[in-house]
Structure 1
């Protein structure tokens, strides 16, 4: 088998796993989703790895933020102000979290457009010391607006994990703001304390993720 054919088959397999994870659960797709989730959570006891990053379905995330703060965020997105909010993930509520826009070039691009679908970061322990979501300290919500397929980031992280790289966990999430649907996002484990702990040690993670030539 040539290298090119091998790569194509690998990508086809990953694509199949991704597509099955976004469909309604059936006995067959559930088996595939359970396998993908097991790979996601491999070598970790973190509860969030098997719940929020279960790839078998689209998760539901609702952020409750005061109308004044939401208005200020939309008017001043580039400031990345951290607003106090409450968040409910798949029915599990966490209060007093930090909610802010994230990004650099991508943030500026959305700010200069007619869209308000920014990428966001949730810090569960910003205002309540030690607070996490089932062990997760920070969560990124990427708007994936520049990707018409909504799959490139998801597949990239999956391929990295399959290659043995200590890559963040990912899943799809329907984000709502104050009960109103805001869009489909990719939920991504932030590379911070919980990520490092899940992967064993700071030395191990940084050693495997960092490009030694930079």
Structure 2
């Protein structure tokens, strides 16, 4: 066994240099294709002038959280052998910052922060996520990739081995930033109203004053533009306007939103509006259709990696029309009160269960990704869980099955039980 571990620890699965020459100016539709379109683990080396940059990074994170001061530290960044000078780097995340032990924190890199138009494969910004509460390192990628394969506007995801001042910090998920470039690639326009749903973005009607919504729906353009349209949408959802249903459908892309909610439910990603926490989404008013689009992100809690409410059996048997009763979620009530929307949602779940959300399809994807990342996971001494936990969590649950929040389901065992339950409930 020791000999086997030594072989695995001899080196990482290095990516071959795929950026012979980085091109900053390229068609929006092609941006990121070389990063996200190859099945390799990228290598990201971040070099700060400071010998110990973590103290400054931690201080900037706390200032950003308490004072909303947007600060980055300047660093040179090398990706697969290509150098990017004077990039901006900062710590990101909430639970992944507060509760992840040690200094392996999630990071955001802005390549164009100090050198205008400097980009990585046409991308201005990338995110490096530390797989908080995920011994398998697979949850976020499986969840986001599934969304993308269904043609939904979710960020792309891959992997990177990350070094800071020469020290190997471990394996990270490399995730696409949701910004104007993302909007252009997914909707072919980027000038519409653009909001990030913060933790209290409940869709509750708070009155007609814009100021009452600004803390819950952060305008990415740092202005009040678009708030009137957002408030109009919220009014309809809450029955404050005598609008016909067709008017709601002219304001909101309900079909894609229903698909996103269906996938979120199948994967039991509790860190989402339609399950438990009312955040981790963006709203964008598509200038081509004049409809708001729902954009999901953050998948490390998929397969119920954490829940303060469910034990393991309850998570595996989560009702497809589940609504969290302790928090008011007017959008969910509005959607599920409509028979046409319920039918579309149910039909889509049945469609996914036929062959896409299946034991074979997802099991094969789990096996393929596990093989790709295993060496890097074993070499990662900063990870949250042990090598044994990594191997076990692919198939088996870790922790106390009956204690909410104290277990992390095994990917395959959870998938099998969830599919068996859904097929029985839907009598497939």
TM-score normalised by length of structure 2: 0.37
Mapped contact 1:138–1:190 kept (Cα < 8 A) = yes
1:101-128 CA deviation, whole Å, 9 max, x = no partner?
A: 0012321113xx3x11100000111111
Q: Is the 8 A contact 2:57 2:91 kept in 1?
A: no
Counterpart of 1:189 in structure 2 is 176
Higher strand share: 1
Between stretches 73-82 and 89-98, larger displacement belongs to 73-82
Instruction: Indicate whether 1:158 and 2:124 are aligned.
Output: no
Q: Secondary structure at the match of 1:201?
A: coil
How far is the alpha carbon of 1:75 from its aligned partner?
Answer: 4.9
Q: What is the alpha-carbon root mean square deviation over aligned residues?
A: 2.7
Structure 2 distance, partners of 1:57, 1:210, is 26
Q: Secondary structure at the match of 1:44?
A: helix
Structure 2 partner of 1:40? none
Deviation, structure 1 residue 79: 3.2
Q: Does 1:45 align with 2:7?
A: no
Q: CA deviation at 1:188?
A: 0.4
Q: Could you tell me whether the CA contact under 8 Å between 2:51 and 2:165 is conserved in 1?
A: no
- Work out whether residues 137 and 193 of structure 1, in 8 Å CA contact, stay in contact via their aligned partners in 2: no
Cα distance in 1 between the residues matched to 2:62 and 2:29: 35
Higher RCO structure (Cα 8 Å, ≥6 apart): 1
Kindly indicate whether the alpha-carbon contact (under 8 Å) linking 2:42 and 2:160 is maintained by their aligned counterparts in 1: yes
Distance 1:125 1:87, change over 3 A: same
SS at match of 1:197: helix
* 8 A Cα contact 1:165 1:209, kept in partner: no
SS at match of 1:103: coil
Q: Identify the residue that residue 78 of structure 1 maps to in structure 2.
A: 62
The range that moved more, 164-173 or 67-76, is 67-76
1:2-24 deviations in Å (ceiling 9; x for gaps)? xxxxxxxxxxxxxxxxxxxxx89
Q: Which runs of 5+ in 1 are unaligned?
A: 1-22, 26-42
Q: Specify whether residues 67 and 141 from structure 1 end up closer, same or farther in structure 2 by C-alpha distance, changes over 3 A only.
A: same
For 1:24 and 1:96, how far apart are their aligned partners in 2?
A: 24
Equivalent in the alignment of 1:97:
87
Q: 2:160 maps to which residue?
A: 173
Structure showing greater radius of gyration is 2
After superposition, give the CA deviation of every residue in 1:26-76 in whole Å (9 maximum; x if it has no partner).
xxxxxxxxxxxxxxxxx9222x22x22134111100001122561423553
Q: Is the aligned partner of 1:201 residue 2:189? A: yes
CA distance in 2: counterparts of 1:88 and 1:24, whole angstroms = 14
Change (3 A) 1:73 1:163: same
The Cα of 1:131 is off from its aligned counterpart by 2.0
Consecutive unaligned residues of structure 2, counting only runs of 5 or more, are 1-12, 16-27, 65-70, 193-252, 254-282, 285-291, 297-329, 333-428
Tell me how far apart the structure 1 counterparts of residues 37 and 179 of structure 2 sit (CA, whole Å): 20
What count of residue pairs does the alignment treat as equivalent? Answer: 170
The answer (yes or no) to whether the contact 1:78–1:108 under 8 Å persists in 2 is: no
Please give the residue correspondences for 1:27-42 in structure 2 after superposition, counting only pairs within 5 Å.
none
- TM-score normalised according to structure 1 size: 0.70
In the alignment, does 2:128 pair up with 1:138?
Answer: no
> 1:20 aligns to what?
none
Deviation at 1:210, TM superposition (A): 4.2
